[in-house]
Copies of this chain bind each other. A is one copy, B any other.
Amino acid sequence: MPSPSNSAPSSSSAANGTRRGRPGYDQQTVLNIAVDVFNRHGYEATSMGILAENLGITKSAIYHHVPSKGDLLRLALENALGGLEGVLDDPRASTGPADARLEFVLRGTIEVLTERLPFVTLLLRLRGNTEIERDALERRRQFDRRVSELVDAARAEGSLRSDIDPRTTTRLLFGTINSIVEWYKPGGSLSGQKLADDIISMVFEGLHDKR
């Protein structure tokens, strides 16, 4: 069960008792549960009725928190994309040798994935059937392009092996990192920090023992 918050009811819900959420539910709690339901059933297959059932509140109570299912999706994707874009906007992503910048960005990406796992999972499973989804996919492509430019730069400075095409390199890096949404369990014995170390070790140094 979600932990209750102490947010006061808004004036609109006070004016109309039927539109109030379960006392103590705030928008973030509604969003967290909605994202879990989207990931389990798929966004399109999830009706406001299914959401209400999972939240244990009425459909109209959901509308107290967000105007539509699309707004829940938009907020959830903003959480994922905002986190990823924040990594690229950090000064460490744009100063110093490209190799170090690339490592910083990959570590940051892994951190966002592990800390916002359900949100990034939702982003990675998008099919682009609505404008909200298409906008998110365009932002994701933009993120991928900027990482791809870092791969090019690291290769140009001689840090990365040149026998693998840079596009393939970028695909494999994202493939490896994104695949953790399929199995990583936050709060388990493998911390996000150790996972980031492991991935960085494998992709940059390789699994072979060089002793």
Contacts and interface: CB of A to CB of B under 8 A. Distances in A.
Given A175-B176, A176-B172, A179-B175, A205 B202 contact: no
B190 A168 contact: yes
Interface string A166-197: 00110111111011101100000010000100
Contacts of A158: 209, 211
A6 to B, nearest CB: 38
Contacts of A163: 198, 201
Contacts of A14: none
Contacts of A195: 168
A164 interface: yes
A161 interface: yes
A50 interface: no
A198 B162 contact: no
A209 B162 contact: yes
A197 B165 CA distance: 12
A203 to B, nearest CB: 6
B160 A207 contact: yes
Nearest to A190: B168
A209 B151 CA distance: 13
A159 interface: yes
Contacts of A199: 172
B161 A208 contact: yes
Nearest to A99: B208
A169 B204 contact: no
11 contacts: A160-B209, A161-B207, A162-B209, A163-B201, A168-B190, A168-B195, A169-B202, A171-B183, A172-B176, A175-B179, A204-B208
